[in-house]
Amino acid sequence: MHIDLTGRTALVTGSTQGIGYAIARGLAAAGATVAINGRSEGSVDRAVAALTTDLAAELGPDRAPDLIGVAADLADEHEAAGLVDTLPAVDILINNLGIFEAVPALQISDEQWRRYFDVNVLSAVRLIRAYLPGMTERGWGRVQNVASDSAVVIPAEMIHYGTTKTALLAVSRGFAKEAAGTGVTVNSVIAGPTHTGGVEDFVRSLVGDEAPWDEAQRTFMREHRPQSLLQRLIEPEEIANLVVYLASPFASATTGGAVRVDGGYVDAILP
């Protein structure tokens, strides 16, 4: 299957590292113009430079990736509006931005709850409101909200995170209905436990710093994510592969769904 996204413009939020960076890489490799987003100019510039170098060998000397750097804190409605002014139209919107942290359930403050909804939910809603009308007018578009297995299996150590990811599943389904019959698809991607820098820190916070990483990862999966059928952390590129497919013309009949790339973590036939 050859996926060609030449002529399409994609925005990937929270794409200076981790899953977002891998998604941006996959979309750029498929030919899309990709907007890289992070909160600071420095982080965005570093990601654009790294991605350009990263893709040079794959794409060859005659084809450089087409990248745009857009710095904005999308939890802030004014900065989100500024991003839309800079990038007024996109064909592919990947709402990947998200934060997580282990906090005992009874110690999560109102401020933390609000912060998690601002970052993990409202940032996505704002951009969908901004970009969906243009997609429907043009008769083609892809919106994907990167959710988590935590949306279905709420983790006891971070229920505020899990709850926001559950909300993203509803947001995706609702906006898919808004886009019905227009040629625009809206889906959520349920990502399982994934190997990123932030997750490494999270794993260490739960199992300690003493053991080598491979041993710490196995301990984490055995003690905290035992229902994983993969029995290892997922690599960001494995998430990106699904996202790139859903962004392609091949996925034209997949909409309103919660599509799983979770390593079999969610113990259900359907999400």
Rounded Cα distance, 7 and 198, in Å:
33
Secondary structure letter of residue 122 according to DSSP? I
Q: Rank 54-63, 115-124, 199-208 by mean pLDDT and report only the highest.
A: 115-124
Record the pTM.
0.95
Cα gap 200→140, rounded to integer Å:
38
pLDDT beyond 80 at 271: no
Contact (Cβ atoms closer than 8 angstroms) between residue 91 and residue 142: yes
Q: Where in the chain is the domain with CATH 3.40.50.720?
A: 9-194+235-261
Residue 1, pLDDT score: 84
Candidates 21, 161, 245, 265; catalytic one:
161
Tens of pLDDT, residues 42-55: 999 999 999 999 99
Instruction: Match domain 9-194+235-261 to its CATH number in 3.40.50.720, 1.20.120.420, 3.20.20.70, 2.30.42.10.
Output: 3.40.50.720
Is 64 a residue whose pLDDT tops 90? no
- pLDDT for the residue 31: 96
Q: What is the DSSP string of 185-216?
A: EEEEEEE-SB--HHHHHHHHHHH-SSS-HHHH
Lowest-pLDDT range, 36-40, 60-64, 80-84, 253-257? 60-64
**Residues 80, 125 contacting (CB under 8 angstroms):** no
* Position 270 pLDDT exceeds 90: no
Helix axes 123-138, 77-86, angle to 10 degrees: 30
Sheet strands (E) in 110-183: 141-148
Kindly report the average pLDDT of the chain as a whole number: 95
Active-site residue 245, yes or no? no
Distance CA 78, CA 44 (A): 19
CB-based contact 24:239 (threshold 8 Å): no
| Residue 149: closest CA among 239, 81, 60, 24 | 239
Question: Tokens for 120?
Answer: 């993990």
Tell me the per-residue pLDDT of 196-237, one tens digit each, with 9 for 90 and over. 888 899 899 989 988 999 899 989 999 988 999 998 999 999
Residue 42's alpha-carbon distances to 60, 62, 64, in angstroms, are 27, 28, 21
